Amino acid sequence: MGLLSEGSPLSWPETKELADHVRKHGITQFINLYNLLKDRQGDVLKWGDEIEYMLVKFNHETKKAQLSLRGQDLLPVLQITEKETPEKATSLWRPEFASYMIEGTPGKPYGGLLAHFNIVEANMKNRRQEVCALLEKDEQILSITAFPRLGCEGFCVPEAKPDPVNSASRSLFFPDEAIYLAHPRFRTLTRNIRERRGEKVAINVPIFKDINTPSPFMEDLTVLGDDGEKGRSALPDHIYMDAMGFGMGQCCLQLTFQACNIKEARTLYDQLTPMCPIMLALTAASPLQRGYIADTDCRWNIISSSVDCRTREERGLEPLKTNRYRIYKSRYDSIDSYLSPEGERYNDIPLVIDQEAYKRMRDAGIDHLLAQHVAHLFIRDPVSLFSEKVNQNDEEDSDHFENLQSTNWQTMRFKPPPPKSTIGWRVEFRPCEAQITDFENAAYVCFIVLLTRVIVTYGLNFLIPISKVDENMKRAQKRDAILNQKFWFRKDLVSQSSPTDAESTARQEQICVEMTIGEIINGKGEEFQGLLPLISSYLSTVEVDADTHCTIHQYLRLIQKRASGDLMTTAHWIREFVTKHPDYKGDSVVSEGINYDLLTTMNSIQNGTIECPSLLDHPRTKTQSSIPETIRMAENCPSTC
Ligand code: GLU
Ligand code: MG
């Protein structure tokens, strides 16, 4: 989840005092990095996935499933190979926000060879096995986005009680023990975000109203020691949550690409932006929150509220007195501006920027689009700072830049090369929700990577006004968005011609139309070709071995059927599981027993002991752990690639 500086965390008042210092040096560091690396060329396409996992402990006697707070026990062991013999590491492991979470990536990035698509899933399986080897009896690792009863009484083991008076979050539900405490970053972020905001974070998710759900739905939380804030913050007919952990304690699937140079990185950043809401809807997997069925399918807005450090003034609830800006979005949200010259005309939402930072970057020769992007990230205060890191060498360090960059959690992230490394300009694709199986996670990853190949090879253009992408983000999170919503998408992906600035907004709007995700992915007759047919025609022009071909085919079929609604999204399947469960009382409640049955079923689907055709069909990929030598040679690639 970002920069893991070691050291002694400063309090919020101390951090606030140093905010200008961090921003000033952060900008100097960015300018230095930019000047050093702006002309860097010739990096090859490399890419990798990141999956966040949850550790779950099952009690098969009492029929209970709880989150196991053992991340800090497992990580040091999981990291031994990387530390001692990094060349042998097939997976890399990092802590995440919660002590029941861990994050895994492949040991080495994948490259440009098509055969790499055939080792993604095997690597994911192997990653899981590395963890399984360390688990206790009845403990499992699950790649699920949301734990259905997160924050309910006894949701974790060892059991821990929330402390609304002294804990970092002051939550009524989420104890500090569920935060990953072996690194100070996460608890510090929790406390500082709350203190900066001036009150607890408030998350309100619309509840799914079933036949027996009380109306209005309003919980009495006084028994939990309600501190009065709940009374102010909780909305009727919503599931109320009050801690960073409810958001950052959810898991996702991310992808990072290395581009050949900064220009290509900007293009990929922009071109993938309109795909963010589409992929969010396609991967929707989190309809259960704090023991209730929500009326939404995705984690996005929940995480957004869970780290919303804006004060009342910044949120526009009070006139600006002590703060600098009215800020329209949380630090975790969709991006606000495109970065490539082609994207510029579609930057149509207000962009608040740090003027001083902008001017310094412009004076240093950085172009308008990049300067405004960074100056926008820099309207935020740092929310975690370590005393040992306050004074840095701006020629060599980039921690102050990274501090703000890594606490702007947006749908896309534009990443400059780290100082003194062999890594190039990268972009990160961050909207997807984690799926139950390695097959699905691999399928989504390969689909997005293939799409970037198609975009770059054919020079396709996906750009639509940013305001339309934001509108799509809202629609993507609605219940069954795949079945019920339409999304703005560019009509003509091939033509580069776009209305000029001088032309009217009305004309700009004509470049996109509303379509279902089925139409966007699979095509709409003569009117729209569809993304999968484009990928298929690309694949028909390149050499690919039979096994990889078979695997890719299965991945694309999953995407095709999820998009058309022939297969369920994870969210839809979870809803159905709960509402059809014999114990379910039509009251929107996910009981302990339903939670147990759901998670054991998900675990069995994951490890293949039960099939789930309504979600997956009958996948049998030919994934393997390494690329056979003959194929390497056939694709004319040295064994290091
Ligand atoms: N868990 C967060 C999410 O689901 C992402 C945290 C990170 O940036 O790694 O989006
Ligand atoms: Mg992460």
Per-residue pLDDT tens over the stretch 123-140? 999 999 999 999 999 999
Q: What is the pLDDT of residues 167-196, one digit of tens each?
A: 999 999 999 999 999 999 999 999 999 999
- Asked whether 143 lines ligand 1 (CB < 6 A), one says no
The mean pLDDT of 576-581, rounded to a whole number, is 98
18 SS3 class: coil
Helix 466-476 vs helix 275-283: crossing angle, to nearest 10: 10
> Quick check: is 14 in a domain?
no
Using CA positions, which residue lies closest to atom 8 of ligand 1? 1
HEC assignment per residue over 29-92: HHHHHHHHHCCCCCCCCEEEEEEEEEEEEEECCCCEEEEECCHHHHHHHHCHHHHHCHHHCCEE
Q: What is the pLDDT of residues 102-118, one digit of tens each?
A: 999 999 999 989 999 99
Q: What is the pLDDT of residues 9-49, one digit of tens each?
A: 999 999 999 999 999 999 999 999 999 999 999 888 899 99
> Quick check: is 375 in a domain?
no
Amino acid at the residue 3: L
- Asked whether 332 lines ligand 1 (CB < 6 A), one says no
Confidence class for position 633, pLDDT limits 50, 70, 90:
confident
- Asked whether 92 lines ligand 1 (CB < 6 A), one says no
> Ligand 1 pocket check: which of 250, 304, 383, 428 to mutate, most ligand atoms within 8 Å of Cβ?
250
> Quick check: is 1 in a domain?
no
Using CA positions, which residue lies closest to atom 7 of ligand 1? 1
Locate 421 and state its tokens.
């490394």
Q: Measured in Å, how far apart are the chain's first and last C-alpha atoms?
A: 28
Q: What is the pLDDT of residues 458-480, one digit of tens each?
A: 999 999 999 999 999 999 999 99
pLDDT at res. 264: 95
Q: How far, in Å, from the CA of 251 to the mean position of ligand 1?
A: 6
Q: How far, in Å, from the CA of 168 to the mean position of ligand 1?
A: 20
> Ligand 1 pocket check: which of 4, 97, 246, 252 to mutate, most ligand atoms within 8 Å of Cβ?
252
Locate 321 and state its tokens.
């007195």
| CA of 276, nearest ligand number | 1
The mean pLDDT of 194-212, rounded to a whole number, is 98
By the 8 A CB rule, do 325 and 379 touch? Answer: yes
Locate 509 and state its tokens.
């709007």
Using CA positions, which residue lies closest to atom 3 of ligand 1? 252
> Rounded distance, CA 597 to CA 113, Å?
41
392 SS3 class: coil
pLDDT at res. 636: 57
How many domains is the chain partitioned into structurally? Answer: 1
In terms of C-beta density within 10 A (0-12 exposed, 13-18 middle, 19 or more buried), how is residue 329 classed?
Answer: middle
- Asked whether 303 lines ligand 1 (CB < 6 A), one says yes
Confidence class for position 199, pLDDT limits 50, 70, 90:
very high
Q: How far, in Å, from the CA of 410 to the mean position of ligand 1?
A: 9
Which of the 8 DSSP states describes residue 98? B
> Quick check: is 4 in a domain?
no
pLDDT at res. 447: 98
Q: Count the residues in the chain.
A: 641
Using CA positions, which residue lies closest to atom 6 of ligand 1? 1
CATH number of residue 139's parent domain: 3.30.590.50
> Rounded distance, CA 297 to CA 478, Å?
6
> Quick check: is 35 in a domain?
no
Using CA positions, which residue lies closest to atom 10 of ligand 1? 252
Residues 6+ apart with CB under 8 A from 293: 207, 208, 210, 287, 575, 578, 579, 588, 589, 590
Q: Which residues pair with 258 in a beta bridge?
A: 46, 426
HEC assignment per residue over 316-330: CCCCCCCCCCCCCCC
Q: What is the pLDDT of residues 229-244, one digit of tens each?
A: 656 789 999 999 999 9
HSE, CB side, 13 Å, CA atoms: give it for residue 275: 25
Amino acid at the residue 120: V
Whether omega before 419 lies within 30 degrees of 0, making that bond cis, reads no
E strand or H helix that includes residue 564: helix 546-564
What are residue 167's phi and psi, to 5 degrees?
-75, 170
Q: What is the pLDDT of residues 403-447, one digit of tens each?
A: 999 999 999 999 999 888 899 999 999 999 999 999 999 999 999
> Rounded distance, CA 523 to CA 549, Å?
22
By the 8 A CB rule, do 211 and 188 touch? Answer: no
Ligand 1, closest atom to CA 103?
A: 9
- Asked whether 409 lines ligand 1 (CB < 6 A), one says yes
Residues 6+ apart with CB under 8 A from 439: 121, 554, 558, 616, 619, 621
pLDDT at res. 639: 41
253 SS3 class: strand
For residue 12, which of 168, 173, 244, 229 has the smallest C-alpha distance? 168
- Asked whether 623 lines ligand 1 (CB < 6 A), one says no
The mean pLDDT of 64-87, rounded to a whole number, is 97
Residues 6+ apart with CB under 8 A from 135: 55, 141
Whether omega before 13 lies within 30 degrees of 0, making that bond cis, reads no
Residues 6+ apart with CB under 8 A from 181: 72, 99, 187
- Asked whether 293 lines ligand 1 (CB < 6 A), one says no
Question: Any idea what the Cα angle at residue 338 is, between residues 277 and 33, rounded to 5°?
Answer: 120
- Asked whether 558 lines ligand 1 (CB < 6 A), one says no
By the 8 A CB rule, do 129 and 634 touch? Answer: no
Q: How far, in Å, from the CA of 304 to the mean position of ligand 1?
A: 10
Q: How far, in Å, from the CA of 410 to the mean position of ligand 2?
A: 12
Residues 6+ apart with CB under 8 A from 128: 53, 141, 143, 438
Ligand 1, closest atom to CA 52?
A: 1
- Asked whether 152 lines ligand 1 (CB < 6 A), one says no
Using CA positions, which residue lies closest to atom 9 of ligand 1? 1
Question: Any idea what the Cα angle at residue 246 is, between residues 244 and 250, rounded to 5°?
Answer: 110
Q: How far, in Å, from the CA of 39 to the mean position of ligand 1?
A: 31
Q: How far, in Å, from the CA of 69 to the mean position of ligand 2?
A: 17
Sign, CA dihedral 572-573-579-584, equals negative
For residue 536, which of 458, 608, 480, 603 has the smallest C-alpha distance? 458
Residue 73: left (phi > 0), alpha (psi -120 to 50), or beta?
alpha
> Quick check: is 102 in a domain?
yes
State the average pLDDT for the chain.
94
Q: What is the pLDDT of residues 491-518, one digit of tens each?
A: 999 876 555 554 555 555 589 999 999 9
By the 8 A CB rule, do 339 and 268 touch? Answer: no
Confidence class for position 641, pLDDT limits 50, 70, 90:
very low
> Quick check: is 388 in a domain?
no
Q: CA distances (Å), 233 to each of 228, 240, 242, in order? A: 9, 8, 9
- Asked whether 1 lines ligand 1 (CB < 6 A), one says yes
- Asked whether 285 lines ligand 1 (CB < 6 A), one says no
Ligand 1, closest atom to CA 145?
A: 4
- Asked whether 241 lines ligand 1 (CB < 6 A), one says no
Confidence class for position 271, pLDDT limits 50, 70, 90:
very high
- Asked whether 434 lines ligand 1 (CB < 6 A), one says no
The mean pLDDT of 581-589, rounded to a whole number, is 98
Strands (E), 87-217: 91-95, 101-106, 139-142, 156-157, 203-206
For residue 605, which of 435, 436, 433 has the smallest C-alpha distance? 436
> Ligand 1 pocket check: which of 3, 280, 303, 405 to mutate, most ligand atoms within 8 Å of Cβ?
303
By the 8 A CB rule, do 331 and 343 touch? Answer: no
> Rounded distance, CA 226 to CA 380, Å?
30
> Rounded distance, CA 258 to CA 263, Å?
12
Neighbours of 421 (CB within 10 A): 8
Residues 6+ apart with CB under 8 A from 49: 105, 106, 120, 124, 253, 254, 255, 441, 445
Q: Residue 467: which domain range?
A: 45-335+411-641
> Ligand 1 pocket check: which of 409, 413, 429 to mutate, most ligand atoms within 8 Å of Cβ?
409
